[in-house]
Structure 1
Amino acid sequence: MTRGFKFLQVKAMILTKQYRCIHSASCLCTKGHLNEEVIFLVFHHLNWNPMLIATLSCACKWFDDLAKRVLWKEFCRTRAPKMMLDLQSSGSHSIDGNWRALGKLLIYCSGCKKGGLFNNVDIPAHFVHRTRFSRTSGKSFLLPQCRTDVLYVSDPCEHLDQGDEGDVGFFRGIFKCFAMSKVRKVLINRGALLHPTEVCPYCKAKLWNMLQAKMIPSSASCRLGAYEDCIEYYVCLNGHVLGTCTLLPLSDTEEASEE
């Protein structure tokens, strides 16, 4: 079966299932569907294309359930295999916030609307082709007493020449086993408040402001190549990280690294 034919087959399935079903044992929506094994092989051949997975998820709850359980998981394992092995090395077969949320985090820069999480920043969200996530970089975002936690953080997504805001960078990340992390314990012990209105753009969970909790070390600015007093990031209840910074001009960064 050629790739083009498989794509048309998937597209045909989507076009014929435009309603939401109740996903019960007697659901008529499942009749005539290809079974899970065939859909798995189709998307394997399509290299777990995230746009097609997202489109398929909108067809009905049967497809949405399959995408959540299987397709997004395989996408994450293909896109960041070493990172996924580490995140699951504790013995868990799931990821905090579900596989779809993690898949979105890998390829989606959330940006920010003016008046949102980062008040003065107004940059549209967008998909990115590929981003490097680093466990070593993650250490730079943790207080010394929390550095046994495992945090993967992306390189900043650069948005240059943003007027008065200068060169803005957005970064994102994920904690391993956030529910058991020292960061979460410190946030609770300090009585950190959850944001009253905004939620995580990846899993819709509530957010802690790490700047407000005074939990952003100076090492984070060095890792990002950013001004120390212009970094802010949030972590949600599922351990997803999203933040922004004002990037240093390249010449200043070079001088700082030489020192």
Structure 2
Amino acid sequence: MRAREQKREISAAKGGMMLVVKQYRCTHSSTCICMKGHLSEDAIFLVFQHLNWNPRLIAAMSCVCKWFDEVAKRVLWKEFCRTRAPKMMLDLQSSGSHSVDGNWKALGKLLIYCSGCSKGGLFNTIHIPGHFVYRTRFSRTSGKSFLIPQCRTDVLYVSDPCEHLDQGEEGDVGFFRGVFKSFSFSRVRKMLIDRQAKFHPTEVCPYCKAKLWSMLQANMIPRSASCRLGAYDDCIEYYVCLNGHMLGISTLLPLSDSEEVSELE
């Protein structure tokens, strides 16, 4: 059985040191059912393991109280990510870290949620609501196509585009998302800082709420990205947040044109 992870704080007291277990208090009223006691983390782990780490149920449980939310962030979302994308998670943690940049909840959301866009937001030309997707393939090989040559030693996983067809004058639109491995040590981050790239003044990452750099403004979008997506060269844009989450949009070529691009590659 999985050993219970406990957070402890050391508090100084007269006459010596005393171990104090960190308490998680319910943020609901005194009549909330949560006040009657919690299941152990071991029991919660086994229940959600039986449920195959259902993300909707994890999200629902997180809303019950602060204690459940902490367990979900620390344990359940981590196991969901490991189950949904085991090879990808193994690679992201191969540097020896027990966590990932940002947090497990943010990464779990990135795996299954297309952020869409709204007028006046990051991609302000059209309004397409964000939505959950059943399954998306993330590729490390595809990620290389989104990096300029100086940065191709970085590891970036990028999803297949989530296609939204017939968007009026915008045509066929594709949203894509991704995540860097060890972004704080990446060449992309260093180059963004060296180029004094500016953060977006109002918008933040929809997955972790961190500030966003525009790769378009930093002139760091290679032509290979549009080839990989089957998109027009001048109609692709993406952002990277401080935690290494990437989200972008492209205007997709008609199917016949996409086939021609593939042949050229």
1:117-146 deviation digits (Å, cap 9, x = unpaired): 001021010000000000000000001010
Residue matched to 2:8: none
Residue matched to 1:5: none
4+ residue runs over 2 A deviation? 28-32
Aligned length: 236
Structure (1/2) with the larger strand percentage: 2
Structure (1/2) with the larger helix percentage: 1
What is the one-letter code of the residue matched to 1:171? F
Aligned with 2:158: secondary structure?
A: strand
Structure 1: distance between partners of 2:181 and 2:216: 21
Shift of the alpha carbon at 1:80?
A: 0.1
| Superposed CA RMSD | 1.3
Shift of the alpha carbon at 1:32?
A: 2.4
Structure 2: distance between partners of 1:157 and 1:147: 24
Shift of the alpha carbon at 1:33?
A: 1.4
Which 5+ residue runs of structure 1 have no aligned equivalent? 1-18, 23-27
Structure 2: distance between partners of 1:130 and 1:29: 33
Tell me if 1:50 matches 2:55.
Answer: yes
Tell me if 1:124 matches 2:129.
Answer: yes
Structure 2: distance between partners of 1:196 and 1:182: 24
Tell me if 1:228 matches 2:239.
Answer: no
Aligned with 1:122: secondary structure?
A: coil
For 1:198-217, list aligned pairs within 5 A: 198-217=203-222
Structure 2: distance between partners of 1:257 and 1:96: 34
Question: Residue 30 of structure 1 contacts residue 62 of structure 1 at CA under 8 Å; is this kept in 2?
Answer: no
Residue matched to 2:85: 80
What is the one-letter code of the residue matched to 1:39? I
Residue matched to 1:4: none
Which 5+ residue runs of structure 2 have no aligned equivalent? 1-25
Question: Residue 40 of structure 1 contacts residue 71 of structure 1 at CA under 8 Å; is this kept in 2?
Answer: yes
Residue matched to 1:9: none
1:209-239 deviation digits (Å, cap 9, x = unpaired): 0000000000000110100110000000000
Structure 2: distance between partners of 1:109 and 1:29: 33
Question: Residue 230 of structure 2 contacts residue 261 of structure 2 at CA under 8 Å; is this kept in 1?
Answer: no
Aligned with 2:237: secondary structure?
A: strand
What is the one-letter code of the residue matched to 1:241? M
Structure 1: distance between partners of 2:27 and 2:136: 34
Aligned with 2:142: secondary structure?
A: helix
Shift of the alpha carbon at 1:199?
A: 0.2
State, as a whole percentage, how many aligned pairs show the same letter: 81
Structure 2: distance between partners of 1:146 and 1:201: 25
Structure 2: distance between partners of 1:104 and 1:258: 35
Tell me if 1:168 matches 2:173.
Answer: yes
Q: Which has the larger radius of gyration?
A: 2
Tell me if 1:37 matches 2:42.
Answer: yes
1:167-201 deviation digits (Å, cap 9, x = unpaired): 00000000000000000000000010001110000
